[in-house]
A and B are shown apart, each in its own frame.
Chain A
Amino acid sequence: MQSGIIRSILLAVTLSASGTPLLAHHSFSAEYDDTKPIRVTGVITKVEWQNPHVWFYVDVKGEDGKITNYAFSGGAPGQLMRRGIMKSALIIGSTITVDGFKAKDGSTNGYGAKVTFPDGRMVFTSNQGEQEKH
């Protein structure tokens, strides 16, 4: 567990240092803007733990009280699975903070690189860790 946390911290440093994630397939560069990082906190409303990339959806309450549903894509299930990140990492109804990158089209789609839970635990939902780990 401790080594996992340390690894997560190291990965977080790596992510911050590089500023951009290693790009996944399916057109990250076409769809997402690696110069527009986004951080939102909200409640998970839906999880699609499917190929070719996982997607998870988060209800985020704005300053005006309005709820907006954000859709984040991440790595492939197999990539995440071998890093010990299983479907149970994202539970509908739980509150998370997502660090990712905005869609270029201005929509509420995004690339979810990192998820942080209220207790400080982090998981990387991008495929970044697959390469950084080795």
Chain B
Amino acid sequence: MKKMLRYVSLSSLIIVSAALAFAPAGSAQSGAAPAGKGSFSIPRTPDGKPDFTGIYQWPTYMPGDQRGKSSATTFDPKYFAPLKPGGEAFLEPRTGDMRHDEPRDFCMPAGLTAGMLSANAMQFFQTKNYLTIVHEFQRMSRIIPLDGRPFRKDIEPTYYGDSVGHWEGDALVIVSTNFKRWMLDDYYYTDPKQYRMHSEALTTTERLEWKDKDTISYLLTIDDPKIFTKPWSQLFQIKAKPEWDKVGLYEYVCEENNRCPGGKCQGN
């Protein structure tokens, strides 16, 4: 596992470096429309596409939606589609084995969709052919092709899946598939009797649209045919935080001082 973790860290570094190298000189936020809802115009790249480059808060709840006990955002069960017979594994209980219950205690990755919903800053870098998302939590890095290429074939499933993006008008739609079976969100901390997992059949669809100069709407659709009878969606909002750009994202090397391996926290 150590070897794998080293690989993840090195990969993240390379990805971040690549993202910085490809980042456009301007920023969506610095070039955003003047204040006032009436005068808002979508920031755009030179080729006319909506520009999502900028620094943001993680996706947060819409008013009225149920909040979890974790600082991370979690799904509100009112949006869930009915479970399929056998889909109850989605709500399987904790086992007491932290490798199952909370693998992040061993610095294992959060994966999608839990990684995107973690309570840390994230930064987007957009070019004509890529959107790169760097999330501070575990330095999650996603390089999402926007050039119309298909999913990669014949590769092992991964924690963050394989993503491709396309444009539907001014909406950027990111579809991801080929996941390992892994945690869906942070619900672990809200209800000790339930633990939300997705299956390896998961496909996620993320739909991003500028709503005003400070807000991107983020519609997350979960299509997991081994668990749910049909796809379901929850709308979140992503708030621009240009003031966070002063300090930026901080390094997140979980292995550095993980004093809680396996849920056993120990100082000194």
Complex Cα distance, B149 from A68, in Å, reads: 61
Q: Identify 10 new A-B residue pairs, CB closer than 8 A, beyond the known A23-B69, A25-B104, A78-B250.
A: A23-B189, A25-B186, A29-B189, A31-B264, A48-B257, A52-B258, A71-B266, A78-B249, A82-B244, A134-B57
Complex Cα distance, B232 from A86, in Å, reads: 41
Q: Do A71 and B268 touch across chains, with their CB atoms under 8 A apart?
A: yes
The chain B residue sitting closest to A133, CB to CB, is: B57
Please give the residue numbers on chain A whose beta carbons come within 8 Å of chain B beta carbons, in ascending order.
Answer: 20, 22-32, 48, 50-53, 55, 57, 69, 71-73, 76-79, 81-82, 103, 107-109, 127-128, 130-131, 134
* A73 contact set on B, CB distance < 8 A: 259-260, 265, 267
Tell me if B253 is interfacial: C-beta within 8 Å of chain A.
yes
Complex Cα distance, B163 from A45, in Å, reads: 47
B interface secondary structure, majority: loop
**Distance in Å: Cβ of A81 to nearest Cβ of chain B:** 5
* B60 contact set on A, CB distance < 8 A: 134
Q: Do A52 and B252 touch across chains, with their CB atoms under 8 A apart?
A: yes
Interface residues of B in 214-268 (CB under 8 A from A): 239, 244, 247, 249-254, 256-260, 263-268
* A127 contact set on B, CB distance < 8 A: 71, 119
Q: Do A57 and B260 touch across chains, with their CB atoms under 8 A apart?
A: no
**Distance in Å: Cβ of A72 to nearest Cβ of chain B:** 8
* A109 contact set on B, CB distance < 8 A: 265-267
Q: Which of B104, B244, B264, B265 has the most CB atoms of chain A within a 10 A radius of its CB? A: B265
The chain A residue sitting closest to B267, CB to CB, is: A71
Please give the residue numbers on chain B whose beta carbons come within 8 Å of chain A beta carbons, in ascending order.
Answer: 57, 60, 69-72, 98, 102, 104-105, 107, 118-121, 136, 186, 189, 192, 239, 244, 247, 249-254, 256-260, 263-268
Instruction: Tell which of A69, A76, A82 touches B268, judged by Cβ atoms closer than 8 Å.
Output: A69
* A22 contact set on B, CB distance < 8 A: 69-71
Q: Do B257 and A27 touch across chains, with their CB atoms under 8 A apart?
A: no
The chain A residue sitting closest to B258, CB to CB, is: A52
* A69 contact set on B, CB distance < 8 A: 268
Complex Cα distance, B105 from A109, in Å, reads: 17
Q: Which of A20, A79, A128 has the most CB atoms of chain B within a 10 A radius of its CB? A: A79
**Distance in Å: Cβ of A126 to nearest Cβ of chain B:** 9
Q: Do A57 and B267 touch across chains, with their CB atoms under 8 A apart?
A: yes
Q: Do A52 and B107 touch across chains, with their CB atoms under 8 A apart?
A: yes
Instruction: Tell which of A30, A50, A78 touches B257, judged by Cβ atoms closer than 8 Å.
Output: A50
The chain A residue sitting closest to B249, CB to CB, is: A78
Q: Do B239 and A134 touch across chains, with their CB atoms under 8 A apart?
A: yes
The chain B residue sitting closest to A72, CB to CB, is: B267
Q: Do A103 and B250 touch across chains, with their CB atoms under 8 A apart?
A: no
**Distance in Å: Cβ of B93 to nearest Cβ of chain A:** 14
Complex Cα distance, B57 from A57, in Å, reads: 30
The chain A residue sitting closest to B268, CB to CB, is: A71
Q: Do B71 and A24 touch across chains, with their CB atoms under 8 A apart?
A: yes
Complex Cα distance, B119 from A131, in Å, reads: 8
Would you mind naming 19 contact pairs between A and B with Cβ atoms under 8 Å apart? A22-B70, A25-B72, A26-B258, A26-B260, A27-B105, A27-B263, A29-B192, A52-B256, A52-B258, A53-B260, A73-B267, A78-B121, A78-B136, A78-B252, A79-B119, A81-B250, A109-B267, A128-B71, A130-B119
Q: Known interface pairs A52-B258, A78-B120, A128-B71. Does A28 touch B247 (Cβ–Cβ under 8 Å)?
A: no
The chain B residue sitting closest to A130, CB to CB, is: B119
The chain A residue sitting closest to B261, CB to CB, is: A26
* B250 contact set on A, CB distance < 8 A: 76-78, 81
Q: Known interface pairs A23-B71, A27-B105, A131-B71. Does A55 touch B254 (Cβ–Cβ under 8 Å)?
A: no
